[in-house]
A and B are shown apart, each in its own frame.
Chain A
Amino acid sequence: MDLLPVALTIITASTPLLLAATGELVTEKAGVLNLGVEGMMLVGAIAAFAAAVSTGSGLIAILVGAFSGVAVAAIFAVLTLTCLANQVATGLALTIFGVGLSALVGSNFVGISLEPLPQLNIGVLSTIPILGDLLFGHDVLVYLSFIMILLVGYFLSKTRSGLILRAVGESHDSAHALGYSVLTVRYLAVLFGGFMSGLAGSYLSLVYTPLWAENMTAGRGWIALALVVFGTWRAGRIAFGAYLFGAITILQLHVQGWGINIASQFMTMLPYLATVVVLVFISSDKMKIRINAPQSIGKVFYPPR
């Protein structure tokens, strides 16, 4: 069996998970739990798709998708940061809203199909056998997912701004006392999360399928949230997790090709079951979660008097 096409499909299945998880990592590191990833992805997906259909430009489509993610993330930010609303409830609201909004806008786009984004071949690199195909023959969003997780990992662990962001996430009261603007940092982090979720959604509707279907994210936003926990809030482990889940998603497509006869529904269950198993596996070590989780996550920040 030829493994190269399998590896390539794993990369395509992993990319949306990686993009969304990268955004959520930054949001959570700043101490905000945004459960609305699924909703932001859906809005990004339909916005990018609509833009692609009406303009025909992949670049515009990607930008529209990403900034639609930012726009809906802004609603979340205003509600949780300015209006001090409960983050869990608001995140759920964002997902319900995103499902509804995308389905409404998308009702005009069902059944239209798109040319997928072109592959960007990077000069001679993409002519290297196997490695060239594997690493250097993708569309722009795949490269972006590689770059963003590296940048975010570097930003969080090696830069001063990253340190401030982490300080805000660990103890908003201390960060506030030191003179950092907790709200500014959190607003930016939430909007960045929206941007990345929007990109993840764009990838689904522009490249992965490429068409629009209601609820097409099929829980990927929630899996991305689980990946952040699985990766214990570390960029490298999150990337590993994203590819692991990409592989599990792809497995279901190949199992039947290998002559194993299982009802398709059971194969489709795999990523969801794997998410549960992985969460149990990681979370059972309470100490590990306690050490790695941002200490202020999910808590409302009201400046001390």
Chain B
Amino acid sequence: MSQSFRFFPKFVLEPRLEVSGQWMILSPIIAIILTLFSGIIIFSLLGKDPFLALYTFFVQPLTTMFGITELLVKGTPLVLIGVGLAIGFKANVWNIGAEGQFTMGAVFGGGTALLCQHMESILVLPLVLVLGTLGGILWGAIPAFLKTRFNANEILTSLMLSYVAVLWLSYLVHGPWRDPAGFNFPESQLFSDYAMLPILIENSRLNLGALFAILVVLAAWILMARTIIGFQLRVVGLAPRAAHYAGFKQSGLIWLSFLISGGLAGLAGIAEVSGTIGQLLPSVSPGYGFTAIIVAFLGRLHPVGVLFAGLIMALSYIGGENAQIEIGLPAAVTGLFQGILLFFLLACDVLVRYRFSHRSVLTGGRCE
């Protein structure tokens, strides 16, 4: 009986002795190219000129200064959340509820901004940001507590809490926090200038949040590459048993992952409302919390990679909006692209840990 698993008739897939660094980089690039090819097919199926569509989707937004600032505006939350998720995913802690932590960041921070509506002090903004981050941390702490104390699956609890958070925000803006002078629209008052993140480039929406994203990338890079905590997180993900024998506290690392990723999602949430939107709306996120999952994988779970991946996914958002306006493509194309990209990425990632070969070269020992 053949001892290797058949992939194609002639070739077999066999484990590499070491993870391939080359394929770590190549895999996302190939996945993006394959996604663009699928784009040609999808656009043709939708009855659009595929090359015009690709141009309006991926190139045209970048031809104006405003387009580029918008890319950074949309990239900011994706990078902030993505960096946090990547840290958790590295340690095999699956926080899928970033959407909820983002929303709670907006609720806590936005609520603070509304409370401080009449305070004219430069301290309002820091307070708003801190409370927003705390909101995310709090919402991330719940699944961490339920996981470490009650062994409850963090994927399901964090996701369920996302629904709860979104409904909670919806209740607030439909009810107690609705702007009394807002013609009954479900919107809060506009935040005062003291609660708003300063704009970096005039006539754009680019704000200080983008700078936070870059700082967070650097901090996370140092944390993961240069500290003992980063080392422990990586070991837990790669070899849970080794981590156990080494005496690393698993529950501590689960807590840490959730507090970091929840806090960063919360920061992203408050940066979004106090930097870009300026008030609370029933929905403050076009699915950033879920897209950030793709960002984390596309960025190879590395903070710097996440920075690039965040910009690429941000382009898919503004490209989608642009294509909707310019050539009438349905907005949902963006979501489809994002899903296809992740599929291709996961498929290409096989080659990071396995390789094709004609016959088995390895002789002994099992590789997992």
Contact = CB atoms under 8 A, between A and B. Distances in A.
B201 interface: no
B213 interface: no
Contacts of A94: 339
B160 A219 contact: yes
B152 A263 contact: no
Contacts of A284: 149-152
Q: Specify the main secondary structure of chain B where it touches its partner.
A: helix
A94 B339 CA distance: 7
B362 A305 contact: yes
A279 interface: yes
Interface residues of A, number: 53
Given A104-B333, A266-B171, A275-B156, A75 B343 contact: yes
Interface string B318-357: 0000000000001111111111101100110110011000
Contacts of B297: 89
Nearest to B330: A107
B346 to A, nearest CB: 4
B5 to A, nearest CB: 5
Given A226-B156, A272-B164, A302-B368, A97 B336 contact: yes
Contacts of A300: 368
A99 B339 contact: yes
A205 B161 CA distance: 25
A88 B94 CA distance: 9
Contacts of B164: 269, 272-273
Contacts of A229: 153, 156
A222 interface: yes
Interface stretch (A77-85, A150-158, A159-167, A190-198): A77-85
Contacts of B366: 302, 304-305
Interface of A: 35, 39, 75, 79, 82-86, 88-90, 92-94, 96-101, 103-104, 106-107, 214, 218-219, 222-223, 225-226, 229, 263, 265-266, 268-269, 272-273, 275-276, 279-280, 283-284, 286, 289, 300, 302-305
29 contacts: A79-B343, A79-B346, A83-B350, A84-B350, A93-B346, A96-B291, A96-B293, A96-B339, A100-B338, A103-B330, A103-B331, A104-B333, A107-B331, A219-B159, A219-B163, A222-B159, A226-B160, A263-B175, A269-B163, A279-B152, A280-B150, A284-B149, A289-B151, A300-B368, A302-B5, A302-B366, A304-B366, A305-B364, A305-B366
